[in-house]
């Protein structure tokens, strides 16, 4: 389907500690393949993909892959204002990355724009079951305490990757439909994509026409 048929653009950021697999998740979603050793992200990288929502319009997703390393935090923080969706990613084999989720959530809440962001907590690398140190139940409890949804995924096994993005986009669409998220002129979180402008008949008052001299 052509790009022009998308109704909205949703801007979504992936946040979480370094090496939890944000880039791998995104690249799996974009290309359908797992990249063995992606380079650590420097600042922010952008991806785009279109998505047909279940029982909803087709939307354009603008996906921001952010660096998890602390030294890029002042760059990534400046992007929070203009996102509508946030995937909070931790690694199920890395307890610290789980413990930092509250801090990531808090940081977005403190820096967000005119609308509240929609969050999804993702327990990543679910393929590493033998070295897991965060249970699904613990993660469910954290998500419930933050009032957000939780899912597990693995870029390596391609488990639930599409579903995480579908779930977040669907939640954004619902919030938009229910009026919990409003379109704002100077906010990039959600943009209405205008269809080709239909030229209006010129009004004499507004358009005096070609120069008369
Ligand atoms: N077992 C397993 N390893 C994964 C998975 N996804 C990513 N990895 C590995 O985890 C490491 C970090 O992956 P990245 O995608 O670079 O992590 P990141 O969160 O983008 O890291 P930063 O850019 O530094 O913030 C790499 O060695 C990946 O191969 C997964 O689903 N399962």
160 lines ligand 1 (CB under 6 A): no
Ligand 1 centroid to Cα of residue 155, in Å, is 8
**Would you say 185 and 191 are in contact if contact means Cβ atoms under 8 Å apart?**
no
- Digit-coded pLDDT (tens) for 18-36: 999 999 999 999 987 777 7
pLDDT beyond 50 at 2: no
pLDDT of amino acid 4: 52
- At 127 the three-state DSSP class reads coil
- C-alpha 145/C-alpha 4 separation (Å) is 40
- Digit-coded pLDDT (tens) for 72-125: 888 878 888 999 999 999 999 999 999 999 999 999 999 988 889 999 999 999
Tokens of 68: 């998890």
Which fold, 3-191? Answer: Rossmann fold (3.40.50)
- Digit-coded pLDDT (tens) for 148-186: 999 999 999 999 999 999 999 999 999 999 999 999 888
Confidence of residue 13 (pLDDT cuts 50, 70, 90): very high
Confidence of residue 212 (pLDDT cuts 50, 70, 90): very low
Domain definitions of the chain by residue range: 3-191
Max CA separation in the chain (angstroms): 83
Q: Is the pTM of this model over 0.90?
A: no
Could you tell me if the ipTM is greater than 0.95?
Answer: yes
**Would you say 32 and 18 are in contact if contact means Cβ atoms under 8 Å apart?**
no
Helix, strand, coil percent content, the chain, rounded in steps of 5: 35, 25, 45
pLDDT of amino acid 211: 41
For atom 10 of ligand 1, which residue has the closest CA?
Answer: 21
23 lines ligand 1 (CB under 6 A): yes
């Amino acid at each position: 389907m052509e790009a022009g048929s998308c109704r909205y653009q949703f801007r979504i950021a992936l946040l979480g500690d370094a090496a939890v697999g944000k880039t791998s998740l995104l690249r799996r979603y974009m290309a359908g393949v797992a990249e063995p050793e992606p380079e650590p992200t420097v600042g922010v990288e952008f991806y785009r993909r279109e998505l047909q929502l279940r029982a909803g319009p087709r939307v354009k997703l603008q996906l921001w892959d952010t660096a998890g390393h602390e030294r890029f935090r002042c760059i990534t923080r400046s992007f929070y204002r203009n996102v509508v969706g946030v995937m909070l990613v931790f690694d199920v084999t890395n307890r610290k990355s789980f413990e930092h989720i509250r801090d990531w959530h808090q940081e977005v809440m403190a820096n967000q724009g005119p609308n509240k962001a929609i969050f999804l907590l993702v327990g990543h690398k679910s393929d590493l079951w033998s070295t897991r140190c965060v249970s699904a139940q613990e993660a469910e409890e954290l998500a419930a305490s933050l009032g957000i949804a939780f899912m597990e995924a693995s870029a390596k096994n391609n488990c639930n990757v599409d579903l995480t993005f579908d779930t977040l986009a669907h939640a954004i669409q619902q919030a938009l439909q229910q009026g919990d998220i409003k379109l704002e002129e100077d906010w990039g979180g959600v943009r209405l994509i205008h269809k080709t402008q239909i030229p209006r008949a010129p009004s004499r008052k507004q358009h005096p026409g070609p120069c008369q001299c």
